[in-house]
A = this chain, B = another copy of it.
Amino acid sequence: MIVVQKYGGSSVGSTEKIAAVAKRIAGRAKEAQVVVVVSAMGDTTDEMISMAKALCAVPDEREMDKLLSTGEQASSALMAMALQELGQKAVSLTGGQAGIITERIQGRARILKIDGKRLKDELNKGNVVVVAGFQGITENASWADITTLGRGGSDTTAVALAAALNADKCEIYTDVDGVFTADPRIVPDAVKIDTISYEEMLEMAGQGARVMHSRAVELGQLYDVDILVANSAKAVPGTIITKEDPKMEVRNPVRGIAHDTDVTRFTVVAIPDQPGVAAKLFHAPAQANINVDVIVQNVSSEGCADISFTVADVDFEKAKKAIEPVVDELHAKDLLIDQTLAKVSIVGSGMRSNPGYADKMFQALASEGINILSIATSEIRITCLIEREKVKQAVRALHKVFELEKV
């Protein structure tokens, strides 16, 4: 049996925590071949980002990847030492040594392939293999560069390795107990979900439920890897992310309430309402690898349109730089930027075949006196853009209206 386990930064935030996690891993290694993926220790990554920003306004992404990847390289070596101290054979591998080959795109590289040869050989030698998460290497050996998979990329590393090794289990250990019907810090009644489908998890994650990285879930779905999300410090069952739950028809069609305050809205005012305008406008952020969400277009009276959309706050500067030239080129009247908003969403694959959820959601927000600024929907999600300061109130109201405490 092969088990892939991932431990996040807070689970390996000190040598004491590393030693504690090592015990857990050594126990597991008695019954299975174990691959461990680790994040950087605690705040290491943030500290390195601060240093880089102290040196330059916009650090070069190649150098940034080179810098940040050291965090996971260090924690993986320390974890291997901690395992050895327990008498457990162990070896640490960088992303490159683990055969994780990515595109040559810095900061957000996608995995192209995994050459699992060394990983398997090290496992067969009786080693727990500790892989530095979040990173890979570009293909060409003599010009190989270190790449990173983007924030939260260690989850992606774990799922990708589980897929490549055809592992029996993929376990993501973190500092939360699993996926909840809403953020328990906001909704004390929130209930842990035992099983959630890939699609639902993707919608939850995409809307700010920061339990797992979306790309990791997508990868799990693509390669049919069941993913357990659980607490590294407790012995309680977590949440399993897997294919559509057969019990779905008898359960609450709404699985959870997600929210995201990490939202910047751009509004491009009065651009000509002509074919190709949207294509031009959104080509720029796409080129810059920026995710755009909640796109709304209003046609105004004089043959002009207003287009608004949101990006993550972290992408704000990059997005602004990418969009401004296009706004000029299209002779738009203005570019408005709003950083006082938040997204709140209801998610559930049962909503697909049952109408009326949007109505119920809007009613609930209205009865709380919360104004809806934009609406975006997917098959299994409805998202409203609201004032940021009312987001907790909105999450609580929706959790109650959809009776999620009874799940």
Contact = CB atoms under 8 A, between A and B. Distances in A.
Interface of A: 15, 18-19, 48, 51-52, 54-57, 59-60, 62-64, 66-67, 69-71, 73-74, 76-78, 80-82, 84-85, 91-92, 94, 97, 115, 117-118, 141-146
B81 A18 contact: no
A63 B51 contact: no
Contacts of A141: 141
29 contacts: A15-B54, A15-B55, A48-B74, A51-B78, A52-B78, A52-B81, A55-B81, A55-B82, A56-B82, A57-B85, A59-B81, A60-B80, A60-B81, A63-B77, A63-B78, A63-B92, A66-B73, A66-B77, A66-B92, A66-B94, A67-B73, A67-B77, A67-B81, A69-B73, A70-B70, A70-B71, A70-B73, A94-B146, A97-B145
- Among A63, A71, A84, A92, the most chain B Cβ lie within 10 Å of the Cβ of A63
A118 B143 CA distance: 7
Given A15-B54, A118-B143, A60 B84 contact: yes
Contacts of A60: 80-81, 84
A69 B19 CA distance: 22
Contacts of A48: 74
Contacts of A74: 48, 67, 70
A81 B97 contact: no
A48 B142 CA distance: 29
A64 B77 contact: yes
Contacts of A52: 77-78, 81
Nearest to A97: B144
Contacts of A76: 66
